[in-house]
Structure 1
Amino acid sequence: MCGLQQPLGRRLLLLTVLLAQHCADATTSIQPHIVTIILDDWGWANWGYHDRLVNNQQLQKEVQTPVMDALAQHGIVLDRLYVHNVCSPSRSAFVTGRNPRHVNLINRPSDMYDPSLPLDGIWGVPAQMTGIAEKLKSAGYATQHVGKWHLGYASHHQMPSARGYDRFFGYLGGGNDHWTYKINKLSKGSCGRPSLDLWHNGAPATDKVPHHTCGVASQDGCWYEDALFEQQVTGAINDHADLNTTQPLFLTWAPHAVHVPLQPIAAQEAKFDFIDFPSRRKYAAVVNDMDRRIGRVVSTLKRRGLWDTTLLVVMSDNGGPSLVDGGANNYPLRGEKGFNSEGGVRSNAFMAGGFVPEAQRGSVANGLMGIEDFYATFCGVGGVVTLRDAKAAAAGLPPVDSLNMWPYLSGAVEMSPRDLVVVSDGHQPQAVIDRLGYKLIVGETSSKGTTTSTLPNASYVSPSFCFQRHDKHPPYAGACLFNVFADPSESTNIADAHPDVIQRLTKSLEEAQRDTLRRRYGPEPTAHQALTSPACRVSKRKWGGFEGPWIEFS
């Protein structure tokens, strides 16, 4: 039964996937170590593997990622992994196994709160949803998260320790300073002054507070934040290996890089002084820096004897920001972070490690995959008994959307089980992509129509609308249809030539819009209100000026 060939009919395809999953579960005798690296704002063209495919000499000179190139060439490239166009919704999908529309569609400060609203009235992943670390922990895994959280922390029920992680070292919000660990302009300070944001397990990392002279202009004797994170990751691997146990490890590493502010180590930036444009130079430096850190962590896994049973996943949470101070490039994809063109939602991604079947090494998986699918995939290889989220069901929340991709990625079946990817803006689904490559977009989407190998540059200041305004409501007059398999730059709107496709995908989009989780939160405090907000008071009184959970302590 496990040797069935792939059938052509849809129902037979589903049956084959289920049979292949049964076979895989029956024959896998080990639980792999699962190490996931989620880079922040990594642009499509800022990976040397992609630059060589398009033979772009300028990018090949600027983009230096030899470690990740080699890992991908001996692993599985996930060529059609789709994510949300900004950070938190993507990470929420990864953790909960739900499409972003079923968990969280917006980035917001954690001090939005209204206790009269359902689901606690706070922003972030609902406390009633079961996370991937909880699932894997139920199957015997040791669990650890290092780096960016950005899933909500107003309540201690939203913290990593409540999500199944045995250990945590990282920052709670959307971004902070690489050298001072103070929250940056993208993460509003709630107390009228910069707050510190760095935690170790259940308390602020007070022992890591840098001296007052530390900063991008004064780096001597200071800890670069991604160096701290690498140290924690390496320590987690060494500690686990020292236990000399068969217990599997689930480790999520979410570096600060390559998110703004771009503050590379000075010597690292000097390696790219041939790049005249400042943000592009800094971006190239931090990408190369992360490549080197990943290489050292992989070397540790090999040296400690864990690599042969490790499944390593590397991906980006969204496309790169190509604004002047963003530094990224998504060539040849249209657009960037924050928009639903391909440059915002198609992610760099690959799998590597000794757990990847030998026959699949060096392959490219062209089938559709959503970031939410890692949940079921990890549960499948990790021996989790059921995907059902009883806690969420009791709260009336949407079920898990995730599909187990392992039968497809391991070569047991020829086609991805995912037929459709749903892509949302900050309010509701805006686009759908089917397994034939057709992508329907309604409403407005933005970013420059022209993509070059030298973005950003001085003439590229801000995004502009690349499509005419069109109706967000049926029948979507003026909607855009592309075949992104044949036209990754989304340069030719083929809607007029394919009314049947428009009609078919419109139904899928409307279904996705109807079942979107409509959440409400409290209002974002004004600057004056923030000075006396409960979040501010608790930060000062309990956490010593660090960001932290506050609802239970206010």
Structure 2
Amino acid sequence: MYISFLRTSFILGVLLLLTSSLSWANDRLPNVVFIVVDDLGWSDLGYAGSDFYETPNVDELATESLCFRQAYAAAPVCSPTRAAIMTGKSPARLDMTIWHEGAVDGGPKDRKLLAAKSNPNLPREEYTLAELFQDAGYVTAHIGKWHLGTAAFYPQTQGFDVNIGGTFWGAPSTFFHPFAGKWNDSSTEIRYVPGLGIGMPGEYLPDRLTDEAIEIISANTNRPFFLNLWYYTVHSPIQAPDDLVNRFRRKPAGARHKDPTYAAMVNRMDHNVGRVLDELERQGLAENTIVVFTSDNGGVDFDQRSIVPTSNAPLRSGKGTLYEGGVRIPLLIRWPEKPAGETHELCRSEDFFPTFREMLGDAVKEDSSSELDGISLMPLIDAPSAKLSDRDFHWHFPHYYPRMTPGSAIRSGDWKLVHYYEDDRRELYNLATDPSEKHDISAEHSRETAEMYRRLEQWRKDIGANLPTARQ
């Protein structure tokens, strides 16, 4: 492991100081490892049906977990979903509806509409998932992608004792040593990975972040920890070790999944998830550690530096759109002493906060739970065949993106409506009969279209959603 003695000593010292006063009761609280894989598509895993990618470790985890077959990201892009995970609140309520750099830039000025204003930083007054665990006596560590604000809003200001890799950039310039450089030839800024410097020769960033995660786990075998392991991969740049890329070049392409470099990235991610799970076993912590594995939005199915990474078929479209391929995500939760299985109940990113809030119970202080937009998933975790109360699901993405103009969407039961602001277009789909959203049936079902639009409009009003405006 390429990590300096001084920095190791510093981290261990911080963790020991922070946990020296924990009561004996806290030792029985379960640890939490929360893994988010950036841009991982709904079907990019073996257990989800990929015909090319190889993910044996995640596939095994799926057999030990509650597998959510209809899990949704809070947004079709990264930062809003991450904000929802951290707060339990809708991106629209937070006014965080696009990634950090997009919020700073404000969007194109030559289109029909001006994108809605969006907060580039997660406000520090928000009570975060990390602060929830901190208040319960946990050691909290963030490793990897953050993308929720500039230095004044980095993880260490939002409830994390340790931050390794968390910054306001959405991706590093490269996943190989040195971990610093320009994003492209026209860029003037130098991107880097906080806490890692430029790395060591031969290092691949996902491997190094996993090294750091293992260090956190091994340093906290006798005290509860909340480990946010948010990998930068499989986001662009699409890069992986040559030996893996060459192996997938020799493998026959699948019908849907074909790119060997992306396949190698997915496989290396799986390898590193396996390393984390192995470390939990090695330290005797697996039976007292909750493992969450998920993504922040749909897979990227359009050109990324001359590579089309993946396909979300049979779901329509991908990242940055409000169709199923853009917001449906994988989700596994392995919970000690809870049954494995699968559920088709709908859930979304906002549900993590109230779930862990219920788990921790009296160990934490009162918070702004009255404003939470998610619900606890504990009924499903206790009994995978349970049913959650009916609720509408909403998405608000009032921004431009490749193949996407500003819009919002609502799902109610099997009905889904997508509303576009430029031309006030309303598309209606029945996901029970048309999961690929091929057939807009708004004309044949005008009553349902009107009712769905009314509910969407009421939600936008109630939550105070920022809207795009006409360009003058």
TM range (shorter): 0.7 to 0.9
Q: Distance in 1 between matches of 2:103 and 2:395?
A: 27
Q: Which residue of 1 aligns with 2:419?
A: 442
Q: How does 1:60-209 map to 2 (within 5 A)?
A: 60=51, 62-83=52-73, 84-103=75-94, 104-109=96-101, 112=104, 123-154=120-151, 156=152, 158-172=153-167, 173-176=169-172, 177-179=174-176, 180-182=178-180, 185=183, 189=187, 192=188, 194-200=189-195, 205-206=196-197, 208-209=198-199
TM-score normalised by structure 2 residue count: 0.80
Q: Which residue of 1 aligns with 2:389?
A: 417
Q: Distance in 2 between matches of 1:319 and 1:187?
A: 28
One-letter identity of the residue aligned with 2:85: F
Deviation per residue, 1:320-346 (Å, 9 max, x gap): 111132411112111011111100000
One-letter identity of the residue aligned with 1:231: D
Q: Distance in 2 between matches of 1:187 and 1:135?
A: 42
Q: Distance in 1 between matches of 2:417 and 2:366?
A: 30
Q: Which residue of 1 aligns with 2:355?
A: 377
Q: Which residue of 2 aligns with 1:535?
A: none
Q: How many residues align?
A: 414
Q: Contact 1:388/1:400 (CA < 8 Å) preserved in 2?
A: no
Structure 1 residue ranges without an equivalent (≥5): 1-27, 52-58, 115-120, 211-220, 391-397, 445-469, 473-477, 521-554
Partner SS for 1:481: strand
Q: Distance in 2 between matches of 1:63 and 1:334?
A: 20
- Offset of 1:386 from its aligned partner? 5.6
Q: 1:294 to 1:263 in 2, by over 3 A?
A: same
Q: Contact 2:135/2:365 (CA < 8 Å) preserved in 1?
A: no
Q: Does 1:250 align with 2:226?
A: yes
Structure 1 residues 277-286 or 292-301, which shifts more?
277-286
Q: Which residue of 2 aligns with 1:401?
A: 373
Q: Does 1:493 align with 2:465?
A: no
Q: 1:333 to 1:340 in 2, by over 3 A?
A: same
Q: Contact 1:387/1:400 (CA < 8 Å) preserved in 2?
A: no
Q: Contact 2:182/2:190 (CA < 8 Å) preserved in 1?
A: no
Deviation per residue, 1:385-411 (Å, 9 max, x gap): 466339xxxxxxx93222111123322
Q: Distance in 1 between matches of 2:284 and 2:328?
A: 34
Q: Does 1:287 align with 2:277?
A: no
Q: 1:429 to 1:130 in 2, by over 3 A?
A: farther
Q: Which residue of 1 aligns with 2:333?
A: 351
Deviation per residue, 1:258-279 (Å, 9 max, x gap): 0100110111112101368898
Q: Does 1:323 align with 2:305?
A: no
Q: Which residue of 2 aligns with 1:364?
A: 342
Q: Distance in 2 between matches of 1:169 and 1:295?
A: 20
Q: Distance in 2 between matches of 1:441 and 1:519?
A: 17
One-letter identity of the residue aligned with 2:330: N
Q: 1:378 to 1:187 in 2, by over 3 A?
A: farther
Structure 1 residues 511-520 or 308-317, which shifts more?
511-520
Deviation per residue, 1:73-107 (Å, 9 max, x gap): 22111111111111111111111111111121012
- Offset of 1:489 from its aligned partner? 0.7
One-letter identity of the residue aligned with 1:372: E
Q: Which residue of 2 aligns with 1:508?
A: 455
Q: Contact 2:143/2:228 (CA < 8 Å) preserved in 1?
A: yes
Structure 2 residue ranges without an equivalent (≥5): 1-25, 107-117, 400-405, 468-472
Q: Contact 2:234/2:266 (CA < 8 Å) preserved in 1?
A: yes
Q: Contact 2:37/2:234 (CA < 8 Å) preserved in 1?
A: yes
More strand by share: 2
Q: Distance in 1 between matches of 2:231 and 2:62?
A: 19
Q: Distance in 1 between matches of 2:147 and 2:374?
A: 21
Structure 1 residues 129-138 or 415-424, which shifts more?
415-424
Q: Distance in 2 between matches of 1:367 and 1:42?
A: 21
Q: Distance in 1 between matches of 2:159 and 2:334?
A: 25
TM-score normalised by structure 1 residue count: 0.69
Partner SS for 1:368: strand
Deviation per residue, 1:479-531 (Å, 9 max, x gap): 211122332211122323433432332222012221345679xxxxxxxxxxx
- Offset of 1:195 from its aligned partner? 1.2
Partner SS for 1:63: coil
Partner SS for 1:407: helix
One-letter identity of the residue aligned with 2:415: Y
Q: 1:345 to 1:441 in 2, by over 3 A?
A: same
Q: Distance in 1 between matches of 2:465 and 2:324?
A: 25
Q: 1:519 to 1:423 in 2, by over 3 A?
A: closer
Q: Contact 2:408/2:419 (CA < 8 Å) preserved in 1?
A: yes
